[in-house]
A and B are shown apart, each in its own frame.
Chain A
């Protein structure tokens, strides 16, 4: 027994929640098909329509052309400007803490040393290129006399008054290039020639860092005034240039705020 059934049940159903009244039935099927949301019966009907009509077949082909393809050659060139980086405050804090600690440490170190140098304040009042002023500090600088050792004068380093060690050569003056001088723990034997250079200036000798023996480091500055040897200050910076023979070719003394040139004293 043959049972009649209605074969287009799907066509009764609502497949979309918007009204297709603006579209012809062909256009509706065409868009549904290329959007790939057409039901089976809609696909069949669409195929049936275009198979019978060449004009509709062309229209259907045009629908297929409306699917856009992205242009890969269009790129955003400022990607780097979009990216973010975040400061790691943990690391910054640690670095800042270490730097602060070092600054404080160096401050206290300098403060201690400056307290130990009574001459420092005196030196700050010196006028540049005015060696006569140096003589004025003699009374302050001289603390004790060192022993005279024939042709050699040795500065005995004292832990207590290192920065004030003054040796008085009494009857001896450094005029002979054969004279030798030992200062502190300086392993080098400094001769007068080394000390005063070609002009035999009776001024300034350095005590190198006795650990490194590096003359370019900050040292004690020993200054001759007449026959007396003063330690002027630990805080004076010096620049020493050695000549090819190993002697001192030039010497510049710089205090924290002034530069003094080596100047020959009146004998």
Chain B
């Protein structure tokens, strides 16, 4: 990748990576730091990286940094979604709009599920690509996506969202 291509990556992909990280950790300044670190990592190896694969590489770097951060801060415990049996008994806030309900549902997903569902829906990556970005096995990616869909569907149902609102 040339210098010009690297700077084009900054223009073209930073919004996507930032959005992905911010939706995962909900910390604006830390998300900015993670994006900058991802680009820093890419710069160190920019001569070896194919421009066509730069976006995936950035997501992989950001994901890796983000996971390190989450693990260090023990976010795993605090952000883990209760098992389905648990949240059956939980009281859920009621939302007027689907957007807020989806936001709520997304935040309640475990970070692995949240990451893969964001990569899937926001970026349209295939299971194989998500597997390469996250380092998860292909079957793990599928499981996380399936579980995320199911969990989100259940949460939406419990927050009183009706189909007509969409």
> Residues of A at under 8 Å CB distance from B?
16-18, 20, 22-23, 27-28, 30-31, 34-35, 58-59, 61-71, 74-79, 81-86
* Chain A hits for B161, CB < 8 A: 62, 65
B150 touching A82, Cβ below 8 Å: no
Interchain CA distance A23-B152 in the complex, whole Å: 14
A59 touching B157, Cβ below 8 Å: yes
A76 touching B139, Cβ below 8 Å: no
Interchain CA distance A65-B160 in the complex, whole Å: 13
Which of B7, B23, B105, B153 contacts A84, CB < 8 Å?
B7
* Chain A hits for B105, CB < 8 A: 66
Docked complex: B89-144 residues within 8 A CB-CB of A: 98, 102, 105-106, 117-118, 121-122, 138-139, 142-143
Q: Please judge, given known A-B contacts A62-B156, A68-B106, whether A76 and B146 are in contact too, CB under 8 Å.
A: no
B18 touching A75, Cβ below 8 Å: yes
* Chain B hits for A18, CB < 8 A: 139, 142-143, 146
Interchain CA distance A64-B150 in the complex, whole Å: 11
> Nearest 5 A-B pairs (CB), nearest first?
A76-B18, A61-B163, A82-B10, A68-B121, A76-B14
The interface-forming segment of B35-43, B48-56, B70-78 is B35-43
Q: Can you show 6 pairs from A to B with CB atoms below 8 A apart?
A: A17-B138, A76-B14, A76-B35, A79-B10, A81-B36, A82-B36
| Chain B binding surface SS class | helix
Q: Please judge, given known A-B contacts A58-B163, A70-B122, A71-B19, whether A83 and B150 are in contact too, CB under 8 Å.
A: no
B35 touching A83, Cβ below 8 Å: no
CB distance from A15 to the nearest CB of B (A): 11
Interchain CA distance A83-B13 in the complex, whole Å: 12
* Chain B hits for A74, CB < 8 A: 15, 18-19, 22-23
By beta carbon, the residue of chain A nearest B151 is: A66
B149 touching A31, Cβ below 8 Å: yes
B117 touching A35, Cβ below 8 Å: no
A31 touching B146, Cβ below 8 Å: yes
CB distance from B125 to the nearest CB of A (A): 12
CB distance from B6 to the nearest CB of A (A): 6
Query: What 1/0 mask marks residues of chain B from 1 to 26 whose CB sits below 8 Å from any chain A CB?
Result: 00100110011001111110011000
B139 touching A70, Cβ below 8 Å: no
Knowing that A18-B139, A83-B10, A84-B7 touch, tell me 11 more A-B residue pairs with CB under 8 angstroms: A17-B138, A18-B143, A27-B150, A35-B145, A59-B153, A59-B157, A61-B166, A65-B153, A66-B149, A75-B18, A79-B10
A78 touching B19, Cβ below 8 Å: no
Interchain CA distance A234-B153 in the complex, whole Å: 93
Interchain CA distance A18-B32 in the complex, whole Å: 36
* Chain A hits for B138, CB < 8 A: 17
B163 touching A68, Cβ below 8 Å: no
Interchain CA distance A22-B147 in the complex, whole Å: 9
* Chain B hits for A85, CB < 8 A: 3
B14 touching A79, Cβ below 8 Å: yes
Interchain CA distance A137-B5 in the complex, whole Å: 71
Which of A17, A61, A64, A78 contacts B139, CB < 8 Å?
A17
Q: Please judge, given known A-B contacts A17-B138, A68-B121, A71-B19, whether A78 and B3 are in contact too, CB under 8 Å.
A: no
A62 touching B22, Cβ below 8 Å: no
A69 touching B121, Cβ below 8 Å: yes
* Chain A hits for B150, CB < 8 A: 23, 27, 31
* Chain A hits for B17, CB < 8 A: 76
